[in-house]
Amino acid sequence: MAMLMAIGIIAFIAAAVVVSLRKVAAESALQAQERRKREAHFAAEAGLAEARELSRMLLGGQRSFTEVMKSLGNQYNGQGAAGYVQGEPGLPSGLPNGNVFPWYEAIPWTPYTLAAASSGTAVDSDITTAFLEMNGADGRRILDFPAQERVLYRVFLVDDNDGDDRRDQDDNSRVWLVSVGEVRGRDGTQPQRVIIRALITSGAAAGGSCSPEDTNGAANNGEC
């Protein structure tokens, strides 16, 4: 009887340990997923900020984003306004009226990391001394800086619904920037992605119509 009781107690303790370990593993997996989601979000935000500045420079003081689309198309494959991304899963390729839905690649897949391959672990590519920018006030290397491994972002520029059947011409000085942040798992595991977007305006002149997507109404001063 004592042996049976001991075996039962041992079995109960073993089962409790297994359940506890599974719960801890599940909680750890959830925390890791949440951390990767935040990393992907920050990467998408960084890509969006970079794409806004790129769009501003390509505008060159103009009001319409049409030339920006052509510039991005030339950078992508040298096809101008026809140089949009095609054949990639998840990107809309057509409109109900039969026209294409161009997604212009503003920024290709770019690592979101503090490390620069040409200069050790330095933020500024002009720095040639490895780890120079990762040293603290005492001269010692900071060991807990975020390396952000396998974190990338990619940004697209897409014309908004400005009433024109063609989406490769901008008629209201507004386009969408769609930023994708991604954290790729090890050994080909499923990546974590976050997608954010922003409707930007050239702001070069007053007037113009508002996009149907914009719910704030027309202010007739270059903004919506």
Q: How many CB atoms lie within 10 A of CB 33?
A: 12
SS3 assignment, position 9: helix
Q: How many CB atoms lie within 10 A of CB 89?
A: 4
pLDDT score recorded for residue 125: 65
Confidence class for position 51, pLDDT limits 50, 70, 90: very high
pLDDT score recorded for residue 109: 93
Which two structure tokens, joined as six digits, stand for 67? 């030339």
Tens of pLDDT, residue by residue over 183-201, are 987 776 778 899 999 999 9
Average pLDDT of the segment spanning 133-142? 71
| For the ranges 3-12, 72-81, 186-195, the one whose mean pLDDT is highest | 72-81
C-beta of residue 128 within 8 angstroms of C-beta of residue 116 = no
Classify burial at 17, counting beta carbons within 10 Å of its beta carbon; exposed 0-12, middle 13-18, buried 19 or more. Answer: exposed
Q: How many CB atoms lie within 10 A of CB 186?
A: 7
Of 9-13, 38-42, 120-124, where does mean pLDDT reach its minimum?
A: 120-124
Indicate whether 5 pLDDT > 70.
yes
CA distance 70 to 73: 5
Dihedral angle sign, alpha carbons of residues 56, 60, 66, 67: negative
Confidence class for position 78, pLDDT limits 50, 70, 90: very high
Which two structure tokens, joined as six digits, stand for 46? 């960084």
Rounded to 5 degrees, φ, ψ at 62 are -80, 170
Average pLDDT of the segment spanning 142-153? 72
CA distance 112 to 116: 10
Indicate whether 81 pLDDT > 90.
no
Confidence class for position 222, pLDDT limits 50, 70, 90: very low
C-beta of residue 176 within 8 angstroms of C-beta of residue 167 = no
